[in-house]
Structure 1
């Protein structure tokens, strides 16, 4: 056996190195998965038109670009968060919101004319037994801030009224770790 060992060793040593293959593209690399990227960042949140900050919000793109997660941190009261993802099968966006109170809310919608519009039925949003259809409209503002305008309908979408209206302003410093 030792007679063939040098020949085998020579063949192994002289074999050309295989070129490294490129990693496969992310399954979430299509443009639709980036439609909500304007919301990604760390934000100070204010009621629209007012100077009293009400929350911090950290929005991250995760899972190889397949999801966007929000961590909503109000300055007073309990927090919550959402997980957002584009579904190529339905060509729509989905958001699941979970707050500090039990339960969650599911919103569905999509990117229309430079705005992300998500709608869902929020049980008890106006008090026990007082449900409402909530429509959230996210839009990038000329100054780089993001407006989140929430409207509610208690008549299945026939009429709408403002429920909340926030402006997300980019933070100058990172949100402190807790």
Structure 2
């Protein structure tokens, strides 16, 4: 019996490791931001180039990694976007080459992903927060619309970009 237990344990371990791993991030909710995956050319509302963005899936598809570079190459940033199953919402953590960071949280609503920051206090002592909305368009493009809302009513557009897929 003492000889059989190690053999059985080894056999069980080998079978366990040889099975296909389960997909931990395959639900529709966890794929809700997949419309943003790809290589993009981003333009401003006047049609001028804003920059280039590459969004890839990493960590077995559980994280979307964004890598942004502005049109002149001077501004870059990276974000990690993931569905937090503990809070049941999407989160983005953005960090740029200026040393700035932004943490956003939110949900998909129809053809839009809407994420917003916690509230901050500006230099004038007024509360404000950031809200970024990604909208999928019928032609496959994506609009990213970034607003800063002060005092709950005063809206300033920080960025308005149209993402078009790069052609191969």
Cα displacement (A) at 1:154:
1.5
Give structure 1 stretches of 5+ with no counterpart. 1-17, 174-178
Preserved CA contact (<8 Å) 1:105 1:122: no
Compute the displacement of 1:22 (Å): 4.1
Question: For residues 95 and 122 of structure 1, what CA distance do their matches in structure 2 show?
Answer: 15
Distance in 2 between the 1:132 and 1:167 partners? 25
Cα displacement string for residues 156-176 of structure 1 (whole angstroms, at most 9, x for unaligned residues): x33423221100100014xxx
Q: How does 1:28-43 map to 2 (within 5 A)?
A: 28-43=25-40
Deviation string 1:114-161 (CA, Å, 9 cap, x unpaired) is 21001015869xxx8378411000011111010001111121x33423
1:68 counterpart = 2:64: yes
Q: How many residues align?
A: 150
Alignment RMSD: 2.3
- Provide the secondary structure at the position in 2 that maps to 1:60: strand
Bigger radius of gyration among the two = 1
- Counterpart position of 2:123: 129
8 Å contact kept, 1:105–1:121:
no
Distance 1:140 1:164, change over 3 A: same
**Pick from 93, 96, 101: which aligns with 1:99?**
96
Could you tell me which of 66, 70, 77 is aligned with 1:80? Answer: 77
Moved over 3 A (4+): 121-124, 128-132
1:165 to 150, 160, 164: 160
Q: Higher strand fraction: Structure 1 or Structure 2?
A: 2
Residues 1:116 and 2:113 are matched in the alignment: yes
Partner SS, residue 147 of structure 2: strand
Deviation at 1:90, TM superposition (A): 1.2
TM-score by length of 2: 0.80
DSSP-derived class of the 1:38 partner: helix
Partner residue, 1:56:
52
Show structure 2 runs of 5+ residues with no match. Answer: 1-14
**Counterpart contact for 2:51–2:70, Cα < 8 Å:** yes
